[in-house]
Amino acid sequence: MKHRYLKNVATLNLACEKCIGCGRCAEVCPHRVFSINERKAQIVDKDPCMECGACAKNCPTNAITVKSGVGCAEAVIIGWFTGSEPSCGCSSDEGCC
């Protein structure tokens, strides 16, 4: 069954005119947000984006922007209390290799 999180919140943005169609973003995205059509990247579906920042970090022309951060409530709470950027002391799972 497919997981679905909140709609229309992802901060992902693609500047098509900067894209050179290298395909990196489609390669790194863990939620298959991009597809490459006619040597241009395209956002297929923005909602599954978890704002991990992999696409933006690996785009050689900086065509992608996303406000990346950890989607972790505990980290956000700690961030609220300490006034610092939320960072995750997160646990590991099998999926992480």
The footprint of another protein (CB under 8 A) covers: 1-7, 9-11, 24, 27-32, 48-54, 57-58, 60, 67-77, 86-88, 90-97
Q: Which long-range contacts (CB under 8 A, 24 or more apart) does 25-29 make?
A: 25/55, 25/58, 25/59, 25/64, 27/58, 28/54, 28/55, 28/58, 29/54, 29/55
Q: Which is nearer to ligand SF4, 80 or 90 (CB)?
A: 90
Q: Is 11 in the site for ligand SF4 (CB under 6 A)?
A: no
Q: How far is the CB of 9 from ligand SF4 (least distance, A)?
A: 12
